[in-house]
């Protein structure tokens, strides 16, 4: 037991029974309210609704095809594709028959796809057609690679299989980058995901029980955050619009008219930039008013044509945005507060099923990430690290889980106030989290860059920022002998490093610094590791340039 500085614990709210599973909500609504809308998807300029009854029929058919193809309990089934009804139906079918979903990011590089498939050894796979070349030869039985959305031949007794699934069975393997950059397969059970999903729903009735509650889900379902939101919405009967391209979000807000959104800081930044030209000078007025609300100077919401017009652009009904994944710039928080949108902070990691703390509208405290979700304990260790306990904690990593640890060491630093609200103050681990919520391990990129003869040293930048950049120092001796353009050579080094990662993790811009990172300047430790905070301070102007415009 750690000698702690602070502890916050929240009592249980929605218990998970031994036979509860992630498909229960679908079949409950399919029985008691089959015409209720579960999902909606784009159909040209319109939205096409899929009812719980229709979705259940589709899932049963896919599940029957899986069983007929020989997929058994515990078998892994990979899914590679963007967020869609087809993705969700395939996931539910895999879970229904007791198999294990292995999601793969639709933007993953070929190398990342190969790693996941070789490590998880799935028996079968669902994939969008454009990604098929990346999986050729990596599934033992090519006939078990199916196109997402296709019907699977065969029928089987799926009810017996469904009845045999238990809450503590493994539901999914989610691959997440560790500090070494090698993705590890985090195991999550039906209980883990259900606990996170239904307890968040229970603590936010203003969102999930609102009249005609609806949301646009644009998070990748390959990320546990998106999956938890999906299962929470299914359990609450919320109409959920599935968006495969987050770039479409802003344009669809006034069409779909959601009453709440789950997202990451990058999304709020994109919305703010998208409406900036339409509101002009009113932007700063809204920021100033939001800051006054946040600091307690003002309490009334602003009014006027600019505010009304902006609310219309957001769909007219949008009142809450749950924002997790990275820290949110204060001016963006103030801007949306000034519009009358309540930003609800949240915090979690894959090993805690994306959820540790969550803000609620009635008790929101701006600038924090909320209080622990039900049946969760958060402790601040003497060194400031955030430690977590709860039923949503992963039992371990594939293929040999050790069982849920006594405490999850998050690698993040934080403080708890007297009311149990958590504030994130820093990160011990070197994983970068962009404002889009993407985890980026800098080591593989930096290691690959330094292999190039022109690169003496480098440092990846991107924490809380919209994309990844690099500070690069040049090997002057190599540059003197370089036969071509040095800048083009460095670009080639960057391109080679980017082949290791997805576009969301790739280096978008770089800056060639004067001189090098040295011990004398405090940029390196005695063991020659980068002192990242010192480098960021000393090269603040260069970093500002990389994100200008």
Distance CA 547, CA 26 (A): 44
- Indicate whether 472 belongs to any domain: yes
In a domain, 408, yes or no: no
Domains in the chain, number: 1
Tell me if 453 is assigned to some domain.
Answer: yes
Asked whether residue 264 carries a pLDDT value surpassing 80, the answer given is yes
Phi-psi region of 518 (alpha: psi -120 to 50; beta: other; left: phi over 0): beta
Task: Give the burial string for 213-234 (b: 16+ CB within 10 Å, else e).
Answer: bbbbbbbbbbbbbbbbbbbbbb
Q: Which parts of 417-539 are beta strand (E)? A: 422-427, 432-433, 439-440, 455-461, 468-474, 507-512
Structure confidence by residue, pLDDT tens digits, 56-65: 999 999 999 9
Pair type for strands 385-389 and 408-416 = antiparallel
In a domain, 485, yes or no: yes
Q: Is residue 354 part of a domain?
A: no
- The residue segments making up the domain with residue 450 are 441-546
* CATH number for position 488: 3.30.300.30
> Burial, 305: exposed, middle or buried (Cβ in 10 Å; 0-12, 13-18, 19+)?
exposed
Helix (H, G, I), strand (E, B) or coil at 297: coil
Using one digit for the tens of pLDDT, what is the confidence trace for 64-86? Answer: 999 999 999 999 999 999 999 99
Does residue 45 sit within a domain? no
Asked, for residue 204, whether it belongs to a domain, the answer is no
Render pLDDT for 329-347 as a digit per residue (tens, 0 to 9). 788 888 998 888 999 999 9
The answer to whether residues 40 and 241 touch, using CB atoms and an 8 Å cutoff, is: yes
What local confidence, expressed as pLDDT, does residue 325 receive?
A: 67
pLDDT > 90 fraction of the chain, expressed in percent and rounded: 65
DSSP 527: T
Name the pTM for this structure.
0.84
Tell me the helices (H) and strands (E) count for the chain, helix number first: 19, 26
- Whether residue 158 lies inside any domain: the answer is no
């Amino acid at each position: 037991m750690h000698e702690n500085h602070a502890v916050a614990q929240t009592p249980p709210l929605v218990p998970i029974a031994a036979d509860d599973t992630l498909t229960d909500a679908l079949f409950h609504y399919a029985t008691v309210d089959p015409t209720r809308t579960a999902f909606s998807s784009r159909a040209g300029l319109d939205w096409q609704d899929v009812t719980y009854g229709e979705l259940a029929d589709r899932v049963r058919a896919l599940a029957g095809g899986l069983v007929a193809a020989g997929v058994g309990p515990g078998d892994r089934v990979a899914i590679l594709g963007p967020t869609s009804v087809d993705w969700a139906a395939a996931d539910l079918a895999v879970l229904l028959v007791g198999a294990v979903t292995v999601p793969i990011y639709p933007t993953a590089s070929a190398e990342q796809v190969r790693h996941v498939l070789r490590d998880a050894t799935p028996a079968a796979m669902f994939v969008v057609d454009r990604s098929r070349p990346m999986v050729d030869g990596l599934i033992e039985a090519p006939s078990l690679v199916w196109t997402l959305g296709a019907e699977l031949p065969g029928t089987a007794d799926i009810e017996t299989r469904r009845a045999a699934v238990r809450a503590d069975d493994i539901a999914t393997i989610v691959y997440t980058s560790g500090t070494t950059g090698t993705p590890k397969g985090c195991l999550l059970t039906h209980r883990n995901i259900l606990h996170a999903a239904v307890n968040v729903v229970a603590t936010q009735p203003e969102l999930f029980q609102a009249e005609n509650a609806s949301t646009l889900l644009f998070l990748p379902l390959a990320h546990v955050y998106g999956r938890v939101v999906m299962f929470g919405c299914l359990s609450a009967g919320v109409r959920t619009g599935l968006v495969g391209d987050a770039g479409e979000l802003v344009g669809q807000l006034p069409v779909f008219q959601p009453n709440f959104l789950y997202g990451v800081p990058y999304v709020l930044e994109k919305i703010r930039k998208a409406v900036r030209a339409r509101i002009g000078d009113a932007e700063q007025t809204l920021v100033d008013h939001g800051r006054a609300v946040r600091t307690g100077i003002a309490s009334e919401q602003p009014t006027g044509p600019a505010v009304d017009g902006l609310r219309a652009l957001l769909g007219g009904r949008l009142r809450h945005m749950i924002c997790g994944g990275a820290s949110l710039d204060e001016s963006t928080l103030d801007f949306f507060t000034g519009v009358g949108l309540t930003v609800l902070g949240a915090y979690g990691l894959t090993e805690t099923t994306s959820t540790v703390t969550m803000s609620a509208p009635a008790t929101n405290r701006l600038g924090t990430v909320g209080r622990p979700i039900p049946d969760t304990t958060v402790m601040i260790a003497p060194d400031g690290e955030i430690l977590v306990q709860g039923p949503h904690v992963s039992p371990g990593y594939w293929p040999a889980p050790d069982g849920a640890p006594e405490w999850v060491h998050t690698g993040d630093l934080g403080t708890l106030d007297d009311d149990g609200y958590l504030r994130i103050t820093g990160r011990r681990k070197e994983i970068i989290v962009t404002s889009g919520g993407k985890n980026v391990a800098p080591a593989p990129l930096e290691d690959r860059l330094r292999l190039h003869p022109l690169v003496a040293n480098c440092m990846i930048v991107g924490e809380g920022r919209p994309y990844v950049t690099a500070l690069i120092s040049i090997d002057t001796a190599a540059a003197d002998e370089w036969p071509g353009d040095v800048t083009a050579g460095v670009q080639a080094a960057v391109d080679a490093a980017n082949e290791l990662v997805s576009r969301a993790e790739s280096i978008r811009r770089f800056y060639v610094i004067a001189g090098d990172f040295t011990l004398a300047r405090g940029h390196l430790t005695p063991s020659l590791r980068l002192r990242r905070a010192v480098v960021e301070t000393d090269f603040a102007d260069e970093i500002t340039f990389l994100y200008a415009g």
